[in-house]
Amino acid sequence: MFRDDFFSQLASADQILRLFDLLPEVSFFLKDRECRFIGLNRRGCEYCGVAREEEAIGKNDHDFFPSERADYYRADDLAVMKSGEPIINRIEAAPEQAGSTRLVITDKVPLQDRKGIVIGLAGFSRQIDRISRHSGTVDQFSRMIDHMQENFGEPINTKLLAKMSGMSVSQFGRRFRRAFGSSPHQYLLRLRVNAAARLLIETSQTIAAIAQDCGFHDHAHLCRHFGKIMNVTPSTFRSRQKEYKKS
């Protein structure tokens, strides 16, 4: 109650939101139930290609990003708002030009009104190579990250990645988690799920074929990890994308 009383006295939420402009390597955004932007920091404006926040307010991802990526972001937004469950440390394609291989780590949390009804969401996106640079490991990890991004569909073991980074397996695991917020295995799974999601949107391949292309043992293996990371089955994800494109 003490905290609620304090916040109720604030003249404007902008006093707090403007602090996010001081985080140049982090994109912060607020969206309403229709997935429209209602708040962006400077980095978020850069991603959207606008000079001022006002130019993005009321618009959505489809106004700024390639269609397939906008569909992907929207699917996540709707899943968060429908389930009321946050997405934490999602590794996904950066909101840049089509074909970019850069990745970001994204967090999204639902926002509720005073009655407990979800009215939107708030989120952060942090560019992975910038995070690794802050940890002092970018040079050691750069070759290994390139290898993972280019060969995620093939068998990859931690021992090989540690050797490529010039570290012992235990040292590699500790530094990797500090740099990326997840274990190497979790990072690889997210890369594979992210690739599977793109194929579900962009192709008519069967889920079994996509599983094989993305490094999963079989259809069931893909479904299990896709569900854990995306909060939805691959088939439901694909059908939702088709519905969004029709609307």
DSSP 100: -
Same domain, 134 and 188: yes
The residue among 73, 108, 129 that closes a domain is 129
Q: Which helix (H) or strand (E) holds 14?
A: helix 14-17
CATH number at residue 57: 3.30.450.20
* Mean pLDDT for the chain overall: 83
Same domain, 110 and 146: no
The residue among 129, 158, 192 that closes a domain is 129
Same domain, 56 and 173: no
What pLDDT does residue 7 have? 77
98-112 pLDDT per residue, tens: 444 567 788 999 999
Residue bearing the bigger pLDDT, 125 or 149 = 125
Count of structural domains, the chain: 2
67-81 pLDDT per residue, tens: 767 887 888 899 899
User: pTM surpassing 0.75?
Assistant: no
Domain that holds residue 80: 2-129
What pLDDT does residue 222 have? 95
Same domain, 124 and 8: yes
Same domain, 114 and 149: no
Same domain, 98 and 169: no
Largest CA distance in the chain: 56
Same domain, 80 and 174: no
The residue among 99, 129, 159 that closes a domain is 129
Amino acid sitting at position 61:
D
Same domain, 33 and 135: no
Residues 78 and 60: beta-carbon distance below 8 Å: no
pLDDT over 70 (residue 177):
yes
pLDDT over 80 (residue 180):
no
